[in-house]
């Protein structure tokens, strides 16, 4: 079998997605997600101009060799654009391998380690009371784990607080929206939110919280300590992790579990965090961390140090990535949890899939490959619409996107 063609599909059924379609001489087709939020066309160009020409004529079964060729052969290694492009190829090749074998992807990885994948949903509110109500709605839907984010008194348009009940896309404008941030107000408010949530719903459900990299290590340690009585499942992205040693200070001062990694691209971004057990959950994704082939290496390293997976799963990952991630989650032995933001009906129509939600869990299907396809005719009806994520400044104008 040989790869005969490949093409990139860019579509915007509610938000932008980039999809790689790989075709073979035996008629087997595989698809992979290449979406990089706010930088979609950079990956599309990288694939079209630099990667696809290298794929033609290659054996799609040689997944490892092609991964190494694209990673090492480019000379310019790592980075979100390169690794998202490699991930798209890798996911498409695993899809092809599953279809040729007549097996769902998780079987190729080694079979099931669990029956279902525990997921968490996003409960958002404009204020404390609205967030408490939103958490209750997710509990009523059967969720066992809920991320709680709330508007903060005195802060307009807090990042990560959705504007809808189920579907939320933070990329909101062609140029980045500039918002105002106030750390003391946030630190004063966040513990009150979780105090009220535990008072209202008890400790039966898992609660999670995303800090969105807004704190210094010392501020993050203070918040983690303040949240300890409410036993969070995790505190996510407490501080930027380019300097991995920053998490040592947080770890020394709080037992609140720590999660980080959705913006990581390779194992080198989290090697120290894992080996020194500075985190409890690693949040790398299939699409941004080089595909299933590389994510498996990250998970294997994490398993040695009792660090579990908790992959990013926001709407900036297409159903193609989610389908592949669920097969990975079904297999990986050191699984923790999977983020699950629901896509719009338009997105689900463009990307038919066989995974489903029930009683707090997602279940991957049994179709050969990863179980997600793309309706290219429908995708063509939704042209690319540029959108960027917002940035934050302090009240004095200082840029605060750490």
Instruction: Kindly report, as residue ranges, where domains of CATH 3.30.390.10 are found in the chain.
Output: 3-104
CA distance 75 to 73: 6
**Is residue 104 pLDDT above 90, yes or no?**
yes
Pick one of 3.90.1150.10, 2.40.30.110, 3.90.1570.10, 3.20.20.120 as the CATH number of 108-366.
3.20.20.120
CA 202, CA 291: separation in Å to the nearest integer? 38
Dmax (CA) of the chain? 62
Q: What is the C-alpha separation between 283 and 261, in angstroms, rounded? A: 4
Instruction: Judge whether residue 111 has pLDDT over 70.
Output: yes
Decide if 131 contacts 160 (C-beta within 8 A). Answer: no
Q: How confident is the model at residue 210 (pLDDT cuts 50, 70, 90)?
A: very high
Is 3 in contact with 30 (CB distance < 8 Å)?
A: no
- Is the confidence at residue 259, as pLDDT, over 80? yes
Mean pLDDT of the chain: 96
How would residue 165 be classed by pLDDT, with cut points 50, 70 and 90?
low
Point out the catalytic residue in the list 122, 212, 294, 312: 212
Region 154-174 average pLDDT:
74
371 backbone φψ class: left, alpha, beta (φ>0; ψ -120 to 50): left
**Going by C-beta distance under 8 Å and a sequence separation of 6 or more, which residues neighbour residue 20?**
6, 7, 8, 9, 31, 32, 33, 34, 47, 88, 89, 91, 92
Q: Which tokens hold the place of 58?
A: 């290659």
Q: What is the average per-residue pLDDT within 239-264?
A: 96
Tokens (6 digits) for 86: 């490699």
pLDDT-derived band at 401, boundaries 50, 70, 90: low
Kindly state the percentage of the chain with pLDDT values over 90: 90
The predicted model gives 361-384 an average pLDDT of 98
| Calpha distance 203→200 (Å, rounded) | 9
pLDDT attached to residue 163? 60
Q: Is pLDDT of 252 > 70? A: yes
Bridge-based pairing state of the strands 258-260 and 117-125: unpaired
Judge whether 119 and 340 are in contact, CB under 8 Å: yes
Q: Residues of CATH 3.20.20.120 domain(s) within the chain? A: 108-366
Read off the pLDDT band of 32 (50, 70, 90): very high
Q: How confident is the model at residue 22 (pLDDT cuts 50, 70, 90)?
A: very high
Q: Which CATH architecture has domain 3-104?
A: 2-Layer Sandwich (3.30)
Task: Quote the CA–CA distance of 395 and 399 in Å, as a whole number.
Answer: 10
**Spatial distance between the Cα atoms of 192 and 226, rounded to a whole number of angstroms:** 10
pLDDT (tens digit per residue) in 216-235: 999 999 999 999 999 999 99
353 belongs to the catalytic site: no
Q: What is the mean pLDDT of residues 113-129?
A: 97
Report, as an integer, the average pLDDT of 163-178: 78
DSSP classification of residue 27 = S
Query: According to the model, what pLDDT value does residue 167 have?
Result: 66
Asked if pLDDT for residue 292 goes beyond 80, the answer is yes
Give the 3-state secondary structure of residue 311: coil
pLDDT at 74: 87
Task: Check if 50 is active-site.
Answer: no
Contact 83, 295 (CB under 8 A): no
Q: Which of 46, 106, 120, 159 is catalytic?
A: 159
Binned at pLDDT 50, 70 and 90, residue 166 comes out as: low
> What is the rounded end-to-end Cα distance, in angstroms, of the chain?
47
d(CA 329, CA 311): 9
The encoded tokens of residue 249 equal 């200070």
Q: HSE of 30 in the Cβ direction (CA atoms, 13 Å)?
A: 31
Compute the C-alpha angle 118/136/191, nearest 5°.
90
Phi, psi values for residue 258, rounded to 5°: -115, 135
**For residue 148, is pLDDT > 90?**
yes
- When pLDDT is cut at 50, 70 and 90, the band that residue 161 belongs to is confident
Nearest to 266 by CA among 244, 242, 238, 290: 290
How is residue 152 written in tokens? 């903060």
The per-residue pLDDT for range 340-349, each reduced to its tens digit, is: 999 999 999 9
Tell if the pTM clears 0.75, that is, is over it: yes
Confidence category of residue 162, pLDDT binned at 50, 70, 90: low
Asked whether residue 169 carries a pLDDT value surpassing 90, the answer given is no
Distance from chain centroid for Cα 37: 11
Across the range 252-270, mean pLDDT stands at: 97
CB-based contacts of 397, cutoff 8 Å, min separation 6: none
For residue 230, give the nearest of 199, 259, 252, 189 by alpha carbon. Answer: 199
The answer to whether 50 and 5 are in contact (CB under 8 A) is no
The answer to whether 287 touches 34, Cβ cutoff 8 Å, is yes
């Amino acid at each position: 079998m040989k790869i005969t063609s490949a093409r990139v599909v860019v579509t915007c059924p509610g938000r932008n997605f980039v999809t790689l379609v790989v075709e073979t001489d035996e008629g087997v087709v595989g698809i992979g997600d290449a979406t990089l939020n706010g930088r979609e066309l950079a990956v599309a160009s990288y694939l079209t101009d630099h990667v696809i020409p290298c794929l033609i004529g290659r054996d799609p079964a040689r997944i490892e060799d092609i991964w190494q060729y694209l990673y090492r052969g480019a000379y310019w290694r790592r980075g979100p654009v390169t690794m998202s492009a490699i991930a798209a190829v890798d996911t498409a090749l695993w899809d092809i391998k599953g279809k040729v074998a007549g097996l769902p992807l998780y079987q190729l990885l080694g079979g099931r380690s669990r029956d279902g994948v525990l997921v968490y949903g996003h409960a958002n509110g404009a204020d404390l009371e609205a967030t408490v109500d939103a958490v209750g709605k997710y509990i009523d839907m059967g969720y066992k784990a809920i991320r709680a984010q709330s508007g903060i008194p005195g802060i307009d348009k807090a990042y990560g607080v959705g504007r809808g009940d189920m579907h939320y896309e933070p990329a909101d404008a062609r140029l980045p929206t500039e918002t105002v941030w106030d750390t003391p107000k946030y630190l004063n408010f966040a513990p009150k939110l979780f105090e009220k949530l535990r008072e209202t719903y008890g400790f039966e459900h898992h609660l999670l919280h995303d800090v969105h990299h807004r704190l210094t290590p010392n501020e993050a340690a203070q918040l983690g300590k303040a949240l300890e009585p409410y036993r969070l499942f995790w505190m996510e992205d407490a501080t930027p992790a380019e300097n991995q040693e920053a998490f040592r200070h947080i770890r020394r001062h709080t037992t609140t579990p720590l999660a980080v990694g959705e913006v990581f691209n390779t194992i080198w971004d989290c090697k120290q965090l894992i080996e020194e057990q500075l985190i409890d959950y690693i949040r790398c994704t299939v699409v941004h961390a080089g595909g299933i082939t590389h994510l498996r290496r990250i998970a294997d390293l994490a398993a040695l140090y009792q660090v579990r997976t908790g992959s990013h799963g926001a709407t900036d990952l297409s159903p193609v990535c989610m389908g592949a991630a669920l097969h990975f989650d079904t297999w990986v032995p050191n699984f923790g949890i999977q983020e699950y933001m629901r896509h719009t009906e338009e997105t689900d129509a463009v990307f038919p899939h066989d995974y489903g939600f029930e009683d707090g869990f997602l279940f991957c299907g049994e179709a050969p490959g990863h179980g997600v396809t793309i309706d290219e005719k429908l995708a063509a009806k939704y042209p690319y619409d540029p959108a960027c994520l917002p940035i934050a400044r302090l009240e004095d104008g200082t840029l605060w996107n750490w």
